[in-house]
Chains A and B, each alone.
Chain A
C-alpha cells in the first residue's frame, strides 16, 4: 500500500478489469446458451424416442404418395420426398419472380403518380398506398381468392381476351409455345445477343467517361437483342408452334394454365408490395436535391440526359437497397400461399410432407435453410452493391 506512489496508478480491483469482466460475461452467456440447447435437445431426444420418431434424412428417397395440384417442374404421384421439396422450391420461386416483376411495374407507376403535380392523381396514389399497406397481406390474399377468383364464371362462360387468354373459376389459360427442332439456334442467338449487348453498353459507358462522347449504346443493344434472335428464328424456318387452350367438355385443355390460387397469390403479392415500392421510388427521387437538376440545366445538359445521367444514378443509390429487401419480403410472403392452398414450399413441404412423414426436425430445418440461403445470398449481394455505390466521404 505504502509503496504505491503518485506515478503508479492505483491498482484497480480485479473485478473491475474490463478484460476479466468481458470473459466472465461471455462465459456466463455461453454456459446459459449451451445449457438451454442441451436441455432442449435432450428433451427432444426423449420425446422422439417415446413417439418413435426419427430425425434422419433417409425419408427423402421414400415415395411421397400424394399429388400436387400445380407444379412447375414435372412431378408424378409416386415421386420421392426430395422431388416434393424441389417442386415446392420451384413453385415458390415462380411466384416470387412473377410477383416481383408486376410489383416493380405497378410500384414504379404509383410512385411516380404520387409525385405528380396533378393533385387528383397524387391523392389517388396516396390513398391507394395508405389503404393497401395498412391492411394485412393475408387478408388481401384470401379476399382476392374467395372474393374474386373463385367467383369468376365457369369455363363455358370464360372471360375471353381475343380467343388467346381465358380467365374462369378454374384458373387462367394462355397459349403455350412448343419449340420444334432447330429452335435451339434461336435460343443460342438470344444468348449471343445478350452477351453482345452487355459488351456494347460497357464499352460505350467506358468511352463516355473517358472522352465525353456519347454513343447510343442502349438503343443499339436493345436492337441487337430483338433483331438477332428474330433473324435467326425466321432464317431457320420459324421452328415454333403454339399450343392453344381449347374448351373441351367442362374445362380447357392445352396451353399454359395456372390455378386461381396462383392468380390470387400473384395479384395480392404484387399489389401489396407495390405500395412499399411506390414509397421507395418516391423517397429515392425526392432525395436528389433540386439543385442537381438546376445545375445540370445551367451546364446545358439536355433534360432527358439530366434524368439519365444525373438524377437516376443518384436516386438509384437510395432506391436499390430497400427495393431489394422488398423483393426478399415478397419472396418470404409468398409462403402465405398455404392459406389458399397453392402448393408452395411451406405448403407442400412444411405442411403436407411434415404431416405425412412425421419427420418434423429435418423438414423444418430444410425449409428454414432454403429461406436462409436465399436471404443471406441476396443480402450478401446487396452489401457488395452498397460497398461499390457508397459515397466516398471526405
Chain B
C-alpha cells in the first residue's frame, strides 16, 4: 500500500460546547426551585409565608386604599359611608398642616420651609462630585447653620449678639456656595482663587491673609446688611410642634451629642483619675435610667436648679435632657471605636512627636469615627425615635399632634389613621438613615476590605 503522503492532520482537541445547565436550575424556575420549593417543609413554609403576606397586604390595602374615604366633612360621614372597614383620610388631610408644623402661625409657616430649604442648600455641595472642601462644609452645616435657623424660627427682637451670630452664619452660607461653585469650575476653593486673582499666584503670606480677611469682612458686612433689614415676628416655642418640632429636637440632639460624646469618651479613657471618674459617673448615670425619667427630672428640677425668677422654656428643658442623654450613649459608642484602634497607632503617633490633641484629632479619631459610623447612625435613629417621648411632658411633637386628631370634635375617635400616617413618616426617615449609613459604610470601608 502506497504510503499516503497527504500529511495526517494534527490531532487537535476541539472541545464541544458545554451542555447547558439543566433547565431546572436556571431562570425563574431554577430560582423558585432553589429558594422556595427545595424540599417539602420548605414548600409548606413558602405557602404559609405567602398566606400571611396575602392576609396582611389584603387587609392593609383594602383598608387604606380600596375602602378608604377621601372626602368627608367629619368622622360621622366616614363611618356612615364605610364604617370601620375603610380608612377615614379626610381627618388626616385636614390636620396635615398641624402634623407637620404644629401650632406655628399659618402666615409664618414659610419660615420653617425656608429653614428646611437652607439646610438642603447647605448640604447640597456635599453631594456634588467636584467639591473638595466637603469636610469644612459639613462642619459648618452642623455648627453654624443652627444659629441662622434658630433666629429664623424664633424671630423677635434681635439684640446685637443675635445680629452678629445670624450675620456670621449667613456669611458662612455665602462662603459655602461660593466655594462650591469656584471648586466645581476651577478646582480651587473660593478664597484661594480670590487670593490668586488679587495677589498673584505666589503672594507673600501677609498679603494673602489680608485678602482672606477682607473677603470675610465683605461677606460679613453683606450679610449684616441683609440681616439688619429683616425683623421677624416672634413665635414662642409653645406654638412649635409636629414634625417640625421633632426635627428641631433631634437635630439639636444630634449636633450636640457627637462632640460631647467624643469629649466624654476621651475623658473616660484619660489617665487622669478625677476626669475619668467624672466622665464614668456621668455616662453610667445617664445610661442606666430611662429617658423619660431624665425628661421628668429636668422638667421638674431645672426650675429649682436655676436662680429665682429665671424662667426656663419647656422646650429648652426637653432639649437639655435629650442632649445629655444622647451624649452619654454617644460616648459609649465612641469609646468602642477608640478601643478598636490598635495600640500601634497611638505609639506611632507618639513616635512621630505628635502631642495628645494632635494624635487624637489627626490619627485616632478619624479612624475611630469611621469604624463607628453604623453605630453612630444607629444612635441618631434612636434619638429621632426617642423624641416622641417629649409628648409625655406636654410638648406638641408629631405624636401628640396625631393624638390630638382623635380628640378634635369633628374627628372624634380617629386614632388609627393619623398613627398609620406618622408611622410611615417615621419609618421613611429612619429607614433612609439606616440605608444611607450602610451605603456610607460600604464606601468608606473600601480600605479595610481585603
A and B associate in one complex: yes
Q: Which residues of A contact B (CB under 8 A)?
A: 22, 25-26, 29-30, 33, 40, 43-44, 46-48, 50, 116-121, 124, 130-131, 134-139, 142-143, 146-147, 332-333, 335-336, 338-339, 346, 350-351, 354, 360-361, 364, 367-368, 371-372, 374-376
Given known pairs A139-B399, A335-B292, the reply for A43 and B392 (CB within 8 Å) is no
CB of B415 to closest CB in A, whole Å: 4
Cβ contact of B426, chosen from A40, A135, A336, cutoff 8 A:
A135
Q: Which residue of B lies closest to A125 (CB)?
A: B49
B278 at the interface (CB under 8 A from A): yes
A43/B399 in contact, CB under 8 A = no
CB of B359 to closest CB in A, whole Å: 14
Q: Mark out the residues of chain B between 176 and 213 whose CB falls within 8 Å of any chain A CB in the assembled complex.
A: none
Given known pairs A134-B381, A335-B293, the reply for A118 and B49 (CB within 8 Å) is yes
A360/B431 in contact, CB under 8 A = no
Given known pairs A120-B50, A147-B419, A372-B285, the reply for A134 and B296 (CB within 8 Å) is no
Interface-central residue, B53, B306, B385, B431, by most chain A CB under 10 Å: B385
Q: Which residue of B lies closest to A371 (CB)?
A: B289
Given known pairs A346-B293, A361-B301, A368-B289, the reply for A339 and B275 (CB within 8 Å) is no
Interface segment, one of B34-42, B75-83, B164-172, B236-244: B34-42
* A374–B274 CA distance with the chains assembled, in angstroms: 26
Given known pairs A117-B38, A376-B288, the reply for A139 and B303 (CB within 8 Å) is no
Query: B424-450 toward A: CB 8 Å interface, digit per residue (1/0)?
Result: 001100110010000000000000000
A338/B304 in contact, CB under 8 A = no
A-B contact pairs, 6 of them (CB 8 A): A118-B36, A119-B36, A136-B426, A138-B389, A139-B399, A374-B288
**How many B residues touch A, CB cutoff 8 Å?**
54
CB of B297 to closest CB in A, whole Å: 5
Q: Could you list 12 further interchain pairs (A-B, Cβ under 8 angstroms) beyond the known A137-B385, A346-B290?
A: A47-B303, A116-B45, A121-B46, A121-B49, A124-B52, A134-B381, A134-B426, A136-B385, A335-B290, A364-B293, A368-B289, A374-B288
B288/A371 in contact, CB under 8 A = yes
* A346–B300 CA distance with the chains assembled, in angstroms: 14
CB of B299 to closest CB in A, whole Å: 10
CB of A107 to closest CB in B, whole Å: 17
CB of A134 to closest CB in B, whole Å: 4
Cβ contact of A142, chosen from B278, B385, B399, B427, cutoff 8 A:
B399
Given known pairs A121-B49, A124-B52, the reply for A333 and B290 (CB within 8 Å) is yes
Cβ contact of B399, chosen from A29, A138, A338, cutoff 8 A:
A138
* A30–B305 CA distance with the chains assembled, in angstroms: 20
B18 at the interface (CB under 8 A from A): no
Cβ contact of A47, chosen from B46, B50, B308, B434, cutoff 8 A:
B308
CB of A184 to closest CB in B, whole Å: 38
Point out the residues of chain A lying under 8 angstroms from B271, CB to CB.
22
B318 at the interface (CB under 8 A from A): no
* A121–B42 CA distance with the chains assembled, in angstroms: 9
Point out the residues of chain A lying under 8 angstroms from B265, CB to CB.
none
A360/B419 in contact, CB under 8 A = no
Given known pairs A333-B290, A360-B304, A372-B288, the reply for A139 and B426 (CB within 8 Å) is yes
A50/B308 in contact, CB under 8 A = yes
B422 at the interface (CB under 8 A from A): yes
B284 at the interface (CB under 8 A from A): yes
* A376–B284 CA distance with the chains assembled, in angstroms: 8
Q: Which residue of A lies closest to B432 (CB)?
A: A134
Point out the residues of chain B lying under 8 angstroms from A367, CB to CB.
289, 293
B434/A134 in contact, CB under 8 A = yes
Point out the residues of chain B lying under 8 angstroms from A136, CB to CB.
385-386, 388, 399, 426
B35/A117 in contact, CB under 8 A = yes
